[in-house]
A and B are shown apart, each in its own frame.
Chain A
Amino acid sequence: MTVLTKTNIDKGLAILKNTQDSKLITNLNSCVHCGLCGESCIYYLTYKDPRYLPAQKVDLITSIYKRYCTFIGKNIPFLTNAKDLDEKNLKEMVDLFFGACTMCGRCNLHCSIGVDIAYLVRTGRMMLAEMGYIPDTIQSTVDASINTGNNMGITKEEFIDTLNWLEDDLKDEVNDEKARIPVDEKDKNILYTLNPREPKFFPLSISAMAKIFYAAKESWTISTSMYDITNYGYFTGNKEEASIIVKRLFDEMKNLNAKELILAECGHGSRAFRWEGPNYLKNKYDFKTITSVELIADYIKTGRIKVDKEKLKQRITLHDPCNLVRNGGIVNEQRYIINQIAKDFVEMTPHGIDNLCCGGGGGQLAMSEYNERRMAIGERKADQIKNTSAQIVITPCHNCVDQLIQINSYYKLNVQIKTLAEIVADAIILE
């Protein structure tokens, strides 16, 4: 950890002193301490510790803002609960902003006056990033991305070997020697992205998308130099690093001259590139970028792929990834798809934009020091799944998939966890 100096304190405070950011200033001055956010937060619901109240997280950053940016706070701090940015409060910031929040945004939804609490937590992370207080465990994932081009350090050779291996499988699966996984081809309709955990450890979802593209007779390609949709710079709050990662994908899109960029089933990656990306680059994209969830729904709706409606007989439930659903507004497409192939689909309670976070968001999966908390807050998701009596849990986010795999084992749920592409690929009728 960095030693706290005046210079790095000033770097952190510069984020709060940015008077250009009216959204930040409004949110910093708005919490009325009604406490409604408490019941929305999986950390507070699990531990019932007032420290974990979302309002308490808001209060921590607000008290520092008051101390350095308001007249009363500067002169008579105790009158307005203004606090110094010292070692003690810094430790608390790291613990609450990195270790006790997945930035799922459920508290925003329940806030009586609409404070963007997750944005304030992210601002807190941005301050910590400026001061050099990002936990090493999450920074190493960003470093891997920046230094190797993907967050798992996969070499180009290993990546190509994997795609060739999957292409052989695809040929068998669709019984067509001409079936392909095209790489680095220019002027295609679609450039498809991946989460590096797919080629490294979980490639069934790559095979599934390749089969879907095959069935849709799509013109598509994967880049072997920049395919990584994840962006842990978004989680750490380091804007420069997050921007570098977004810029690389943007540049590769230009290089291969594809018409549309399709985002793999990755909640935070979709958010970082599609919704935050133009802000990072200060540039509006001149190409279409949508998620594979929307693309698959469109393939089915327009008849480009045909699916067997009787395929899935087991009971299915759906986990809504926060960044895609609550924060991204993609709510109906995944339900439309599931209803086309599953006979027995049961929703969790609550679901959709009010769904509970799985507990793995916000970079929690990478920070092993908070593992115990991550498993504890996951109990609510385990209970939600149990209550549906489902045998298969579908979720269009690889990060959620991993947390759900662990919850499945830890709470002995005995369910299967699948991506959306996997169940669609299994149900495809090839003509």
Chain B
Amino acid sequence: MAQMEIEGKTFDVDGDGFLSTPEIWTDEVAMLFAKYDGIDIMTDKHWAVVKFIRKNFEEKGNAPMIRSICQETGVKLREIYELFPLGPARGACRVAGLPKPDGCV
């Protein structure tokens, strides 16, 4: 367990900076985590992606497939990599307060 401080607020995170207690996630946490990754403004598209990932996690306990993210939010595939430079896992899922997915991500 590690700690990460963003703008005076401290979070318990794993070594990769994923929230250790996903239940404390709020919109404010999302904005702070995004800022940490260099995303200064969360646009409507950022929010659509993050909210969908969060909803999937709360309902099914895991991160959604990229296909569902694109089809449900209407955001184009290549655009997602631009919105979240660290990609859907280390970028979008982390901002959505999920634990780190397994695998080569």
CB-contacts of B23-47 with A (<8 A): 37-38
Asked if residues A161 and B65 are in contact (CB atoms below 8 Å), the reply is yes
Q: In the complex, how many angstroms separate the beta carbon of A147 from the nearest chain B beta carbon?
A: 11
| Cα separation A151 to B105 with both chains bound (whole Å) | 11
Chain B contact residues, majority secondary structure: loop
**Of A7-15, A270-278, A362-370, which binds chain B?**
A362-370
Whether A152 is near chain B, meaning CB under 8 Å from some CB there, is: yes
Could you tell me if A368 and B100 are in contact, using CB atoms closer than 8 angstroms? yes
Question: A140, A153, A201: which contacts B105 (Cβ < 8 A)?
Answer: A201
Report if A382 contacts B (CB, 8 A). Answer: no
In the complex the two chains form, is A371's CB within 8 Å of B16's CB? yes
Is A370's CB under 8 angstroms from B103's CB?
Answer: no
A109 contacts chain B at the CB level, 8 A cutoff: no
Query: From A410, which residue of chain B is reached at the shortest CB distance?
Result: B86
Give residues of chain B (79-99) contacting chain A, Cβ–Cβ below 8 Å: 85-90
Chain B residues within 8 Å of chain A by Cβ, number: 29
Mask for A388-431, Cβ within 8 A of B = 1, else 0? 00000000001100100110110000000000000000000000
Total A residues in contact with B, Cβ cutoff 8 Å: 37
User: Which residues in A have their C-beta under 8 angstroms from that of B101?
Assistant: 152, 200
Provide the B45-66 mask, 1 if CB < 8 A to any CB of A, else 0.
Answer: 0000000000000000011011
Q: Smallest Cβ distance from A198 to chain B, in angstroms? A: 9
Specify which of A153, A161, A370 is in contact with B102 (CB 8 Å cutoff): A153
Q: B74 in the interface, Cβ–Cβ < 8 Å?
A: no
Beta-carbon contact of A158 and B16 below 8 Å: no
CB neighbours (8 Å) of B87 from chain A are 201-202, 402, 405
The verdict on B67 contacting chain A, using a C-beta distance below 8 Å, is yes
Most buried by A among B18, B38, B103, B104: B104
Residues of B close to A370: CB separation below 8 A: 15
Known contacts being A368-B18, A409-B85, A409-B86, is A203 close to B77, with CB within 8 Å?
yes
Interface of A: prevailing SS:
helix
User: Does A165 contact B104, Cβ atoms closer than 8 Å?
Assistant: no
Report yes or no: A406 in contact with B100, Cβ–Cβ below 8 A. no
Contact (A151, B67) CB under 8 Å given A201-B88, A406-B86? no
Contacts of A196 on B, CB cut-off 8 Å? 103-104
CB atoms of B67 and A197 under 8 A apart: no
- Contacting pair B105 A197 (CB below 8 A): yes
List the interface of chain B (C-beta within 8 A of A): 14-18, 37-38, 62-63, 65-68, 70-71, 77-78, 85-90, 100-105
List 11 A-B residue pairs with CB atoms under 8 Å apart, sorted by A's residue number. Answer: A151-B102, A153-B62, A197-B103, A197-B104, A199-B65, A366-B103, A366-B104, A368-B14, A369-B15, A405-B87, A409-B38
A residues contacting B by CB (< 8 A) are: 140-141, 144, 151-154, 158, 161-162, 165, 195-197, 199-204, 230, 266, 365-372, 398-399, 402, 405-406, 408-409
